[in-house]
Amino acid sequence: MKLVECVPNFSEGKDMNVIKQITDAIESVSGTILLDVDPGAATNRTVITFIGTPEAVLESAFLAIKKGSELIDMSKHKGEHPRMGACDVCPFVPVSDISVEECVEIAKKLGERVANELNIPVYLYEYAATEPKRKSLANIREGEYEGLKEKIKDPLWKPDFGKAEFNPKSGATVIGVRDFLIAYNINLNTKDAKLATQIANVIREKGYPKKDENGKIVKDENGNTIYIPGLLKECRAIGWFVDDYNIAQISINLTNWKVTPPHIAYEKATDEASRIGVKVTGSELVGLIPKDALIEAGKYYLKKQNKSTGLPEKEILYIAIKSLGLDTLYPFEIEKKVIEYAYESKMNKKKLISMSIKDFCDELSTDSPAPGGGSVAALSGSIAASLVSMVANLTFGKKGYEKYNDEVDDIASNSQKIKDIMLGLIDLDTEAFNYYMEVFKMPKKSEEEKRIRDEKLKEATKKAIDVPLKTLETIKELLPYLEKITQKGNVNSISDAGVSALNLLSCAEGAYMNILINLKNLTDENYKNNIREKSKKLLDEINQRCEKVKVEVYKIIG
């Protein structure tokens, strides 16, 4: 699922009624979950964090800025924090299955809408910046609200969206895209904050002051301190003592975890600590973390153990938590600390894939039309992918198969990913059908109602087709791994590869049937022909390749 985080900062930190109205606007959008509200009285500023699907987050962000512009008057605002607008800054943060580029498009859509509908000038910053000098929020905000009236007249500071006219009530809003920041603390077996600082200085990007042979700090010709660069990019760190835990910690902000992930920071801190006789005893996550950051950590430690990384997601997360000691100070709750799990937990949707096999089959057997064949087809695909991963894991490290370790580890890992995609399609198919039925019940008394209903029905039907089409496309992604494991997998488990192929045949035929039955409800012949041709081509290829696997398996097992 595509998930985006949004962290707007509003120039109001004292009147909680205003903040409540803004958060109510955010939560009014289905698919958005409010994660945090952090008001500051001294700064007269509130930072709000919410997450959701791209469409939902875009709508929530607009409604929040709209409500803020109605309730906050910048001409009367006083606060310690730099600011230039009622909604001062509104960054989007890619979290799951979404690129920076896609988030930039969201930022641009929001900027255009805020400027056009609310008459608020908008500047784009960070990854969305239209020129280098606008990448920095500090550059854009220089002069703050008080200087904006003159600054906005300067052609060099013409807004990216909206007129170059001062809006005295709302000021201007800065919208952009930034990386996910992970706040991460490393625990030490000492109370000495100086030792923690010593380690922090070595690992942080800024580094530490260079000293001469007499221990004096070295300056350049302008009198500025010369720093020896630290070991880790995109890493800020300090050392401190924590009363609550009675230990010293290295407090770290990882400003781009894809450059320096938590497990690399942990390992470097461990190395540097050991040099000065200090031991790392675990770590602590402050706030939330993207799932992929922990998955990467889990796989890193599995590889160090010479173990297969093709394990279920929860198993990999467990390895990461234990390896980083994230549960040493208090229990680590995945549903509260991993952002994707937190979102799913707060959405509180009853999922088919959370049912027991018996309950799912019972639900399937009732007179309710959903779940139906589409969900069962996706289930067959997830079982097929699970079997491929199983054969790969039963091959990894086995005597006589060691030369294939890297290859079968890749097969196991990718099959797990495909399994998870297929599991998601089980629920998506039922959700698509339920959405179609909701639209089908829309009123159709007037001509306008009929027109709107017809358009919505077309849209709902295409959504119902998209799911089984995605199922077919996902089967094709699995086929190379099935074929490879049939050729190189443990012969004692080769029948399981054959059962995987049989499940894929069922999955493919089921998905194709669901496409055809939904196409009957559409009148656009070009669309119907394109989808029919594309899906039939996929089906034929899947059938052909799965039949070859069956033949190969029967050859081996006699």
Beta bridge partners of 175: 90, 124
d(CA 238, CA 225): 18
Q: Contact, 7 vs 47, CB < 8 A?
A: yes
How far from 59 is each of 29, 50, 70, 101, 170, CA to CA, in Å? 7, 12, 17, 18, 19
> Active site residue: 15, 73, 77, 81, which one?
81
| Exposed / middle / buried, residue 109 (Cβ in 10 Å: 0-12, 13-18, 19+) | middle
Orientation angle between helical segments 313-324 and 291-304, nearest 10 degrees: 80
> Vertex 287, ends 89 and 260: CA angle to 5°?
85
270-303 b/e (C-beta count within 10 Å ≥ 16 → b):
eebbeeeebebebbbbeebbbbbbbbbbbbbbbe
Beta bridge partners of 235: 254
Q: Contact, 239 vs 164, CB < 8 A?
A: no
> Active site residue: 88, 409, 427, 429, which one?
429
Token pair of 146 as six digits: 């008080």
Q: Is 24 a catalytic residue?
A: no
CA end-to-end span of the chain, whole Å? 43
Q: Is 81 a catalytic residue?
A: yes
Rounded to 10 degrees, the C-alpha dihedral 305/309/310/316 comes to 100
Token pair of 101 as six digits: 């580029």
**Residues tagged active-site:** 81, 429
